[in-house]
Amino acid sequence: MAITDHVDFNGFMEGVKRRNPHQPEFVQAVQEVAEDIFAFIQDKEEYHEQQILRRIAEPDRVVSFRVCWEDDNGNIRVQRGYRVQNNNAIGPYKGGIRFHPSVNESVLKFLAFEQTFKNALTGLPMGGGKGGSNFNPKGKSVREIMRFCQSFMTELYRHIGADVDVPAGDIGVGGREIGYMFGQYKRITNQFTVVLTGKGLEYGGSLIRPEATGYGAVYFLANMLAVKDMTLEGKTAVISGSGNVATHAAEKVVHLGGKPVTLSDSAGFIHDPEGLTLEKIDWVKKHKTYRRGRIADYCDEFKGATYHEGKTPWGVACDVALPCATQNELLGDDARTLVANGCIGVSEGANMPTNLEGVHVFKDARILFAPGKAANAGGVAVSGLEMSQNSERRSWSETELQQMLKDIMSGIHSNCLTYGEMGGGYVDYVKGANIAGFKKVADAMLAFGVV
Ligand code: GLU
Protein backbone atom coordinates (compact mmCIF):
# COMPACT_ATOMS: atom_id res chain seq x y z
CA MET A 1 0.00 0.00 0.00
CA ALA A 2 1.31 3.43 -0.86
CA ILE A 3 2.13 5.67 2.06
CA THR A 4 0.05 8.38 0.40
CA ASP A 5 -3.17 6.41 0.83
CA HIS A 6 -4.14 8.36 3.90
CA VAL A 7 -3.41 11.79 2.33
CA ASP A 8 -6.87 13.05 1.48
CA PHE A 9 -7.80 16.24 -0.34
CA ASN A 10 -7.80 18.36 2.84
CA GLY A 11 -4.42 16.99 3.91
CA PHE A 12 -3.00 17.72 0.48
CA MET A 13 -4.32 21.31 0.49
CA GLU A 14 -3.01 21.88 4.02
CA GLY A 15 0.43 20.91 2.74
CA VAL A 16 0.15 23.23 -0.27
CA LYS A 17 -0.83 26.12 2.05
CA ARG A 18 1.97 25.35 4.48
CA ARG A 19 4.64 25.19 1.80
CA ASN A 20 3.39 28.32 0.00
CA PRO A 21 2.61 30.87 2.70
CA HIS A 22 1.32 34.25 1.52
CA GLN A 23 0.66 32.88 -1.99
CA PRO A 24 -3.16 32.91 -2.18
CA GLU A 25 -3.42 32.93 -5.97
CA PHE A 26 -1.16 29.90 -6.28
CA VAL A 27 -3.08 28.00 -3.58
CA GLN A 28 -6.37 28.90 -5.31
CA ALA A 29 -5.18 27.59 -8.69
CA VAL A 30 -3.91 24.34 -7.16
CA GLN A 31 -7.17 23.86 -5.24
CA GLU A 32 -9.30 24.31 -8.35
CA VAL A 33 -7.34 21.55 -10.07
CA ALA A 34 -6.95 19.28 -7.02
CA GLU A 35 -10.73 19.24 -6.41
CA ASP A 36 -11.16 17.33 -9.66
CA ILE A 37 -7.92 15.38 -9.74
CA PHE A 38 -8.42 13.77 -6.33
CA ALA A 39 -11.66 12.18 -7.51
CA PHE A 40 -10.07 11.12 -10.81
CA ILE A 41 -7.03 9.41 -9.28
CA GLN A 42 -8.92 7.76 -6.45
CA ASP A 43 -8.63 4.34 -8.10
CA LYS A 44 -5.37 5.02 -9.96
CA GLU A 45 -2.67 3.81 -7.60
CA GLU A 46 0.27 4.75 -9.82
CA TYR A 47 -0.54 8.47 -9.79
CA HIS A 48 -0.73 8.37 -5.98
CA GLU A 49 2.37 6.29 -5.54
CA GLN A 50 4.39 8.53 -7.83
CA GLN A 51 3.05 11.69 -6.13
CA ILE A 52 2.25 13.19 -9.53
CA LEU A 53 -0.05 16.03 -8.41
CA ARG A 54 2.34 16.92 -5.57
CA ARG A 55 5.15 17.15 -8.15
CA ILE A 56 3.20 19.24 -10.69
CA ALA A 57 2.30 21.64 -7.88
CA GLU A 58 5.98 22.23 -7.12
CA PRO A 59 7.58 24.34 -9.91
CA ASP A 60 10.72 22.89 -11.48
CA ARG A 61 12.33 26.21 -10.59
CA VAL A 62 11.54 29.82 -9.75
CA VAL A 63 14.13 32.31 -10.92
CA SER A 64 13.98 35.77 -9.37
CA PHE A 65 16.29 38.59 -10.35
CA ARG A 66 16.96 42.30 -10.04
CA VAL A 67 16.13 44.53 -13.00
CA CYS A 68 17.79 47.98 -12.90
CA TRP A 69 16.92 50.66 -15.41
CA GLU A 70 17.23 54.41 -15.75
CA ASP A 71 14.13 56.58 -16.16
CA ASP A 72 13.95 59.69 -18.38
CA ASN A 73 14.93 61.91 -15.47
CA GLY A 74 18.12 59.96 -14.83
CA ASN A 75 16.81 58.21 -11.70
CA ILE A 76 17.95 54.65 -11.13
CA ARG A 77 14.93 52.35 -10.73
CA VAL A 78 14.94 48.80 -9.39
CA GLN A 79 12.29 46.19 -10.21
CA ARG A 80 12.01 42.47 -9.52
CA GLY A 81 11.94 40.09 -12.48
CA TYR A 82 10.89 36.41 -12.47
CA ARG A 83 10.64 33.33 -14.58
CA VAL A 84 8.70 30.42 -13.15
CA GLN A 85 9.42 27.15 -14.98
CA ASN A 86 6.66 24.92 -13.73
CA ASN A 87 6.86 21.72 -15.75
CA ASN A 88 8.55 20.57 -18.99
CA ALA A 89 7.31 16.98 -19.14
CA ILE A 90 5.76 17.36 -22.60
CA GLY A 91 7.87 20.12 -24.17
CA PRO A 92 9.98 23.21 -23.48
CA TYR A 93 8.54 25.62 -20.91
CA LYS A 94 6.14 27.99 -22.65
CA GLY A 95 4.12 30.93 -21.36
CA GLY A 96 3.90 34.68 -21.35
CA ILE A 97 5.65 37.53 -19.60
CA ARG A 98 3.51 39.95 -17.58
CA PHE A 99 4.50 43.51 -16.66
CA HIS A 100 2.09 44.79 -14.01
CA PRO A 101 2.46 46.21 -10.50
CA SER A 102 0.46 43.26 -9.11
CA VAL A 103 3.08 40.74 -10.28
CA ASN A 104 4.65 38.70 -7.49
CA GLU A 105 5.78 35.12 -6.98
CA SER A 106 2.28 33.89 -6.10
CA VAL A 107 0.70 35.34 -9.24
CA LEU A 108 3.40 33.95 -11.53
CA LYS A 109 3.38 30.53 -9.86
CA PHE A 110 -0.39 30.29 -10.34
CA LEU A 111 -0.06 31.35 -13.96
CA ALA A 112 2.77 28.86 -14.67
CA PHE A 113 0.77 26.07 -12.99
CA GLU A 114 -2.35 26.88 -15.07
CA GLN A 115 -0.22 27.16 -18.20
CA THR A 116 1.02 23.59 -17.73
CA PHE A 117 -2.53 22.22 -18.10
CA LYS A 118 -3.55 24.72 -20.76
CA ASN A 119 -0.58 23.93 -22.97
CA ALA A 120 -1.20 20.20 -22.61
CA LEU A 121 -4.81 20.74 -23.71
CA THR A 122 -3.72 22.37 -26.99
CA GLY A 123 -2.26 19.03 -28.07
CA LEU A 124 1.02 20.75 -28.93
CA PRO A 125 4.34 19.84 -27.28
CA MET A 126 4.69 22.69 -24.79
CA GLY A 127 5.47 22.66 -21.07
CA GLY A 128 4.28 25.36 -18.68
CA GLY A 129 6.08 28.53 -17.56
CA LYS A 130 5.39 32.19 -16.86
CA GLY A 131 7.45 35.26 -16.14
CA GLY A 132 7.24 38.93 -15.56
CA SER A 133 7.95 41.88 -13.37
CA ASN A 134 6.22 44.34 -11.06
CA PHE A 135 7.21 47.04 -13.57
CA ASN A 136 4.23 49.29 -14.37
CA PRO A 137 4.24 50.30 -18.06
CA LYS A 138 1.44 52.85 -17.44
CA GLY A 139 2.69 56.40 -17.91
CA LYS A 140 6.17 55.30 -19.02
CA SER A 141 7.75 56.73 -22.17
CA VAL A 142 8.58 54.44 -25.08
CA ARG A 143 12.30 54.83 -24.33
CA GLU A 144 11.76 53.88 -20.69
CA ILE A 145 9.87 50.77 -21.76
CA MET A 146 12.67 49.90 -24.19
CA ARG A 147 15.35 50.29 -21.53
CA PHE A 148 13.34 48.21 -19.08
CA CYS A 149 12.79 45.40 -21.63
CA GLN A 150 16.49 45.35 -22.48
CA SER A 151 17.52 45.19 -18.84
CA PHE A 152 14.95 42.45 -18.15
CA MET A 153 16.30 40.36 -21.04
CA THR A 154 19.90 40.94 -20.00
CA GLU A 155 19.24 38.55 -17.11
CA LEU A 156 16.41 36.43 -18.58
CA TYR A 157 18.41 35.35 -21.65
CA ARG A 158 20.50 32.85 -19.68
CA HIS A 159 17.39 30.96 -18.53
CA ILE A 160 15.53 30.62 -21.86
CA GLY A 161 16.11 29.14 -25.34
CA ALA A 162 14.30 27.59 -28.30
CA ASP A 163 14.39 24.10 -26.74
CA VAL A 164 14.46 25.28 -23.13
CA ASP A 165 11.84 27.95 -22.48
CA VAL A 166 9.99 30.15 -24.95
CA PRO A 167 8.27 33.20 -23.41
CA ALA A 168 5.63 35.39 -25.11
CA GLY A 169 3.40 38.31 -24.18
CA ASP A 170 0.76 38.69 -21.49
CA ILE A 171 -0.69 41.71 -19.62
CA GLY A 172 1.54 44.74 -20.29
CA VAL A 173 3.63 42.89 -22.88
CA GLY A 174 2.60 43.13 -26.53
CA GLY A 175 4.34 43.21 -29.90
CA ARG A 176 6.40 46.28 -29.04
CA GLU A 177 7.86 44.80 -25.84
CA ILE A 178 8.49 41.43 -27.53
CA GLY A 179 10.42 43.33 -30.23
CA TYR A 180 12.66 45.05 -27.67
CA MET A 181 13.27 41.79 -25.80
CA PHE A 182 13.96 39.81 -28.97
CA GLY A 183 16.37 42.51 -30.15
CA GLN A 184 18.28 42.34 -26.87
CA TYR A 185 18.37 38.53 -26.87
CA LYS A 186 19.77 38.52 -30.41
CA ARG A 187 22.32 41.16 -29.52
CA ILE A 188 23.59 39.25 -26.47
CA THR A 189 23.65 35.75 -27.97
CA ASN A 190 24.17 36.55 -31.65
CA GLN A 191 21.51 33.93 -32.38
CA PHE A 192 18.28 34.29 -34.34
CA THR A 193 16.27 31.49 -32.75
CA VAL A 194 12.66 30.79 -31.74
CA VAL A 195 13.22 32.19 -28.29
CA LEU A 196 10.04 34.29 -28.10
CA THR A 197 6.63 34.13 -29.75
CA GLY A 198 4.25 36.96 -30.52
CA LYS A 199 6.97 38.42 -32.71
CA GLY A 200 6.37 40.98 -35.48
CA LEU A 201 5.55 39.53 -38.90
CA GLU A 202 8.80 40.93 -40.35
CA TYR A 203 10.99 38.82 -38.07
CA GLY A 204 9.24 35.49 -37.70
CA GLY A 205 5.87 36.25 -36.12
CA SER A 206 2.72 34.36 -37.07
CA LEU A 207 -0.43 35.72 -38.63
CA ILE A 208 -3.45 35.76 -36.28
CA ARG A 209 -1.33 35.53 -33.09
CA PRO A 210 -2.77 38.85 -31.79
CA GLU A 211 -6.32 37.71 -32.50
CA ALA A 212 -5.92 34.12 -31.32
CA THR A 213 -6.73 34.31 -27.59
CA GLY A 214 -9.93 36.36 -27.96
CA TYR A 215 -11.11 34.53 -31.08
CA GLY A 216 -10.35 31.18 -29.44
CA ALA A 217 -12.40 32.03 -26.34
CA VAL A 218 -15.40 32.82 -28.54
CA TYR A 219 -14.93 29.67 -30.64
CA PHE A 220 -14.94 27.70 -27.40
CA LEU A 221 -18.15 29.42 -26.33
CA ALA A 222 -19.70 28.63 -29.73
CA ASN A 223 -18.64 24.97 -29.30
CA MET A 224 -20.34 24.81 -25.89
CA LEU A 225 -23.52 26.43 -27.26
CA ALA A 226 -23.55 23.99 -30.20
CA VAL A 227 -23.85 21.05 -27.80
CA LYS A 228 -27.13 22.66 -26.71
CA ASP A 229 -28.14 23.31 -30.33
CA MET A 230 -27.61 27.03 -29.89
CA THR A 231 -25.45 29.66 -31.59
CA LEU A 232 -24.18 33.13 -30.72
CA GLU A 233 -26.59 34.70 -33.22
CA GLY A 234 -28.54 37.45 -31.46
CA LYS A 235 -26.92 36.81 -28.06
CA THR A 236 -25.96 39.73 -25.83
CA ALA A 237 -22.40 39.43 -24.53
CA VAL A 238 -20.90 41.14 -21.51
CA ILE A 239 -17.13 41.42 -21.84
CA SER A 240 -14.60 42.76 -19.34
CA GLY A 241 -11.20 44.20 -20.25
CA SER A 242 -10.31 46.33 -23.26
CA GLY A 243 -6.91 44.95 -24.23
CA ASN A 244 -5.87 42.46 -26.83
CA VAL A 245 -8.01 39.56 -25.56
CA ALA A 246 -11.19 41.57 -24.86
CA THR A 247 -11.24 43.51 -28.14
CA HIS A 248 -10.65 40.41 -30.25
CA ALA A 249 -13.27 38.48 -28.29
CA ALA A 250 -15.73 41.33 -28.98
CA GLU A 251 -14.77 41.25 -32.67
CA LYS A 252 -15.43 37.51 -32.96
CA VAL A 253 -18.76 37.84 -31.11
CA VAL A 254 -19.79 40.37 -33.78
CA HIS A 255 -18.53 38.06 -36.59
CA LEU A 256 -20.75 35.30 -35.21
CA GLY A 257 -23.85 37.49 -35.01
CA GLY A 258 -23.76 38.35 -31.30
CA LYS A 259 -23.92 41.75 -29.59
CA PRO A 260 -21.11 42.76 -27.21
CA VAL A 261 -22.39 45.52 -24.93
CA THR A 262 -19.58 46.20 -22.45
CA LEU A 263 -15.80 46.63 -22.14
CA SER A 264 -13.83 47.75 -19.09
CA ASP A 265 -10.50 48.79 -17.62
CA SER A 266 -9.19 49.01 -14.08
CA ALA A 267 -11.15 52.24 -13.50
CA GLY A 268 -14.64 51.20 -14.65
CA PHE A 269 -16.74 49.84 -17.51
CA ILE A 270 -18.67 51.21 -20.47
CA HIS A 271 -22.13 49.97 -21.40
CA ASP A 272 -23.27 50.44 -24.98
CA PRO A 273 -26.83 49.04 -25.22
CA GLU A 274 -26.79 49.44 -29.03
CA GLY A 275 -23.86 47.01 -29.14
CA LEU A 276 -20.23 47.47 -30.15
CA THR A 277 -19.77 47.32 -33.91
CA LEU A 278 -16.51 46.41 -35.69
CA GLU A 279 -15.86 50.15 -36.22
CA LYS A 280 -16.33 50.91 -32.53
CA ILE A 281 -14.06 48.01 -31.57
CA ASP A 282 -11.38 49.31 -33.97
CA TRP A 283 -11.60 52.69 -32.29
CA VAL A 284 -11.04 51.03 -28.87
CA LYS A 285 -8.03 49.08 -30.19
CA LYS A 286 -6.41 52.25 -31.52
CA HIS A 287 -7.32 54.29 -28.46
CA LYS A 288 -5.76 51.72 -26.11
CA THR A 289 -2.73 50.83 -28.22
CA TYR A 290 -1.58 54.10 -29.76
CA ARG A 291 -3.07 56.69 -27.46
CA ARG A 292 -2.83 54.57 -24.29
CA GLY A 293 -6.26 56.02 -23.48
CA ARG A 294 -8.91 55.03 -20.93
CA ILE A 295 -12.10 53.16 -21.79
CA ALA A 296 -14.14 56.04 -20.24
CA ASP A 297 -13.35 58.11 -23.37
CA TYR A 298 -15.56 55.71 -25.38
CA CYS A 299 -18.63 57.59 -24.13
CA ASP A 300 -17.38 60.92 -25.57
CA GLU A 301 -16.91 59.23 -28.91
CA PHE A 302 -20.10 57.14 -29.08
CA LYS A 303 -23.35 58.61 -27.85
CA GLY A 304 -25.78 56.36 -26.03
CA ALA A 305 -23.03 54.60 -24.09
CA THR A 306 -22.64 55.10 -20.34
CA TYR A 307 -19.58 54.91 -18.12
CA HIS A 308 -19.70 53.24 -14.69
CA GLU A 309 -16.74 54.28 -12.61
CA GLY A 310 -15.22 51.83 -10.16
CA LYS A 311 -17.57 49.03 -11.24
CA THR A 312 -17.29 45.73 -13.08
CA PRO A 313 -19.80 44.86 -15.84
CA TRP A 314 -21.30 41.70 -14.31
CA GLY A 315 -24.54 43.42 -13.32
CA VAL A 316 -25.49 44.08 -16.95
CA ALA A 317 -28.08 41.54 -18.13
CA CYS A 318 -26.67 39.22 -20.80
CA ASP A 319 -26.89 35.80 -22.42
CA VAL A 320 -23.15 35.13 -22.32
CA ALA A 321 -20.17 36.59 -20.48
CA LEU A 322 -16.49 36.73 -21.34
CA PRO A 323 -14.21 37.84 -18.48
CA CYS A 324 -11.10 38.98 -20.38
CA ALA A 325 -9.30 41.29 -17.93
CA THR A 326 -7.39 39.58 -15.11
CA GLN A 327 -7.46 37.09 -12.22
CA ASN A 328 -10.20 37.23 -9.59
CA GLU A 329 -12.25 39.90 -11.35
CA LEU A 330 -15.49 37.92 -11.09
CA LEU A 331 -16.48 36.99 -7.53
CA GLY A 332 -19.18 34.82 -5.99
CA ASP A 333 -21.80 37.58 -5.90
CA ASP A 334 -21.02 38.56 -9.50
CA ALA A 335 -21.55 34.95 -10.54
CA ARG A 336 -24.88 34.84 -8.68
CA THR A 337 -25.97 38.08 -10.40
CA LEU A 338 -25.05 36.72 -13.84
CA VAL A 339 -26.99 33.50 -13.23
CA ALA A 340 -29.99 35.41 -11.82
CA ASN A 341 -30.02 37.65 -14.88
CA GLY A 342 -30.23 34.66 -17.19
CA CYS A 343 -26.63 34.23 -18.34
CA ILE A 344 -26.29 30.78 -19.92
CA GLY A 345 -22.60 30.66 -20.82
CA VAL A 346 -19.29 32.00 -19.51
CA SER A 347 -16.00 31.65 -21.36
CA GLU A 348 -12.85 32.87 -19.58
CA GLY A 349 -10.56 34.85 -21.88
CA ALA A 350 -8.36 35.81 -18.92
CA ASN A 351 -6.50 33.45 -16.60
CA MET A 352 -8.53 32.51 -13.49
CA PRO A 353 -10.82 35.59 -13.67
CA THR A 354 -13.50 33.77 -11.64
CA ASN A 355 -12.66 33.10 -8.00
CA LEU A 356 -13.31 29.69 -6.43
CA GLU A 357 -16.68 30.76 -5.01
CA GLY A 358 -17.76 32.02 -8.43
CA VAL A 359 -16.67 28.76 -10.09
CA HIS A 360 -18.82 26.82 -7.61
CA VAL A 361 -21.81 29.12 -8.26
CA PHE A 362 -21.56 28.44 -12.02
CA LYS A 363 -21.12 24.70 -11.46
CA ASP A 364 -24.07 24.51 -9.06
CA ALA A 365 -26.25 26.45 -11.52
CA ARG A 366 -25.10 23.97 -14.22
CA ILE A 367 -24.58 26.71 -16.78
CA LEU A 368 -21.97 26.42 -19.55
CA PHE A 369 -18.72 27.50 -17.91
CA ALA A 370 -15.35 27.25 -19.66
CA PRO A 371 -12.28 27.79 -17.46
CA GLY A 372 -9.42 29.87 -18.86
CA LYS A 373 -7.09 26.93 -19.22
CA ALA A 374 -9.44 25.58 -21.92
CA ALA A 375 -11.13 28.71 -23.26
CA ASN A 376 -8.10 30.98 -23.66
CA ALA A 377 -5.69 28.34 -24.94
CA GLY A 378 -5.99 29.69 -28.50
CA GLY A 379 -3.27 32.26 -27.83
CA VAL A 380 -0.61 29.86 -26.71
CA ALA A 381 -1.75 27.39 -29.37
CA VAL A 382 -0.95 29.89 -32.13
CA SER A 383 2.34 30.58 -30.31
CA GLY A 384 3.01 26.86 -30.71
CA LEU A 385 2.19 27.19 -34.41
CA GLU A 386 4.58 30.17 -34.59
CA MET A 387 7.32 27.90 -33.21
CA SER A 388 6.54 25.24 -35.83
CA GLN A 389 6.60 27.79 -38.66
CA ASN A 390 9.94 29.19 -37.44
CA SER A 391 11.45 25.71 -37.23
CA GLU A 392 10.29 24.97 -40.75
CA ARG A 393 11.43 28.42 -41.88
CA ARG A 394 8.12 29.14 -43.55
CA SER A 395 4.84 30.97 -42.87
CA TRP A 396 1.36 29.58 -43.15
CA SER A 397 -1.47 31.62 -44.66
CA GLU A 398 -4.14 33.33 -42.62
CA THR A 399 -6.76 30.89 -43.90
CA GLU A 400 -4.67 27.89 -42.86
CA LEU A 401 -4.02 29.34 -39.42
CA GLN A 402 -7.67 30.32 -38.84
CA GLN A 403 -8.67 26.74 -39.60
CA MET A 404 -5.97 25.34 -37.31
CA LEU A 405 -7.09 27.62 -34.47
CA LYS A 406 -10.71 26.55 -34.91
CA ASP A 407 -9.69 22.87 -35.01
CA ILE A 408 -7.54 23.20 -31.89
CA MET A 409 -10.37 24.87 -29.95
CA SER A 410 -12.80 22.14 -31.07
CA GLY A 411 -10.22 19.53 -30.05
CA ILE A 412 -9.94 21.05 -26.57
CA HIS A 413 -13.72 21.14 -26.33
CA SER A 414 -13.96 17.43 -27.24
CA ASN A 415 -11.26 16.62 -24.66
CA CYS A 416 -13.34 18.39 -22.03
CA LEU A 417 -16.40 16.36 -23.02
CA THR A 418 -14.43 13.12 -22.60
CA TYR A 419 -13.83 13.76 -18.90
CA GLY A 420 -16.53 16.31 -18.08
CA GLU A 421 -19.85 14.73 -19.15
CA MET A 422 -21.86 14.40 -15.96
CA GLY A 423 -25.08 12.95 -17.34
CA GLY A 424 -28.41 14.68 -17.81
CA GLY A 425 -26.88 16.83 -20.52
CA TYR A 426 -24.56 18.70 -18.14
CA VAL A 427 -20.87 19.08 -18.95
CA ASP A 428 -18.48 20.12 -16.17
CA TYR A 429 -15.85 21.85 -18.34
CA VAL A 430 -13.66 22.64 -15.34
CA LYS A 431 -13.41 18.98 -14.49
CA GLY A 432 -13.00 18.00 -18.14
CA ALA A 433 -10.15 20.46 -18.70
CA ASN A 434 -8.40 19.63 -15.43
CA ILE A 435 -8.43 15.90 -16.00
CA ALA A 436 -7.54 15.99 -19.72
CA GLY A 437 -4.63 18.39 -19.08
CA PHE A 438 -3.45 16.49 -16.00
CA LYS A 439 -3.55 13.07 -17.64
CA LYS A 440 -1.29 14.04 -20.51
CA VAL A 441 1.35 15.64 -18.30
CA ALA A 442 1.05 12.92 -15.64
CA ASP A 443 1.52 10.06 -18.09
CA ALA A 444 4.66 11.69 -19.48
CA MET A 445 5.97 12.14 -15.94
CA LEU A 446 5.32 8.47 -15.17
CA ALA A 447 7.47 7.56 -18.17
CA PHE A 448 10.42 9.52 -16.76
CA GLY A 449 10.48 7.88 -13.35
CA VAL A 450 11.31 9.85 -10.23
CA VAL A 451 13.02 13.00 -11.50
N1 GLU B 1 0.08 34.76 -22.05
C2 GLU B 1 -0.70 33.90 -22.87
C3 GLU B 1 -1.38 32.84 -22.02
O4 GLU B 1 -1.77 33.13 -20.90
C5 GLU B 1 0.08 33.34 -24.06
C6 GLU B 1 1.32 32.58 -23.72
C7 GLU B 1 2.14 32.19 -24.94
O8 GLU B 1 1.76 32.49 -26.07
O9 GLU B 1 3.19 31.56 -24.71
O10 GLU B 1 -1.62 31.74 -22.43
pLDDT digits (tens, 9 = 90+) for 348-372: 999 999 999 999 999 999 999 999 9
Give the atom of ligand 1 at the shortest distance from the alpha carbon of 118. 10
Model pTM score: 0.96
Active site residue 118: no
Residues 230 and 369 in one domain: yes
> Distance, CA 160 to ligand 1 centroid (Å)?
15
Q: Is 378 in the pocket of ligand 1 (CB under 6 A)?
A: no
Mutate to test the pocket of ligand 1, among 119, 121, 170 (most ligand atoms within 8 A of CB): 170
Pair 299, 269 in one domain: yes
Distance CA 27, CA 331 (A): 17
CB atoms within 10 A of CB 413: 26
The domain of 318 spans 210-375
Cβ atoms of 390 and 203 closer than 8 Å: no
Task: Indicate the top mutation candidate among 121, 383, 389 to test ligand 1's pocket, ranked by most ligand atoms within 8 A of CB.
Answer: 383
Q: Kindly give the number of the ligand 1 atom that is closest to the alpha carbon of 170.
A: 1
**pLDDT tens column, 290-348:** 778 999 999 999 999 999 999 999 999 999 999 999 999 999 999 999 999 999 999 99
Pocket lining: 383 vs ligand 1, CB cutoff 6 Å: yes
Whether 23 lines ligand 1, by a CB cut-off of 6 Å, is no
Q: How far is the CA of 381 from the centre of ligand 1 (A)?
A: 8
Check if 168 has its Cβ closer than 6 Å to any atom of ligand 1. yes
Same domain, 246 and 353: yes
User: In sequence order, which residues have a C-beta less than 8 Å from that of residue 105 and are 6 or more positions away?
Assistant: 23, 62, 64, 82, 84
Query: What is the 11 CA–ligand 1 centroid distance (Å)?
Result: 32
pLDDT (tens digit, 9 = 90+) per residue, 254-269?
999 999 999 999 999 9
User: Residue 320 forms beta bridges with which residues?
Assistant: 237, 345
Tally of domains in the chain: 3
pLDDT tens per residue, range 130-153: 999 999 999 999 999 999 999 999
Q: Partners of 268 in the beta sheet?
A: 265, 309
pLDDT at residue 4 is higher than 70: no
| Residue 146 near residue 62, CB atoms below 8 Å | no
Q: What is the CATH number of the domain that holds 115?
A: 3.40.50.10860
Q: Return d(Cα 135, Cα 332) in angstroms, integer.
A: 30
67 in the same domain as 52? no
Q: Which of 94, 130, 288, 440 is catalytic?
A: 130
Whether residues 51 and 75 fall in one domain: no
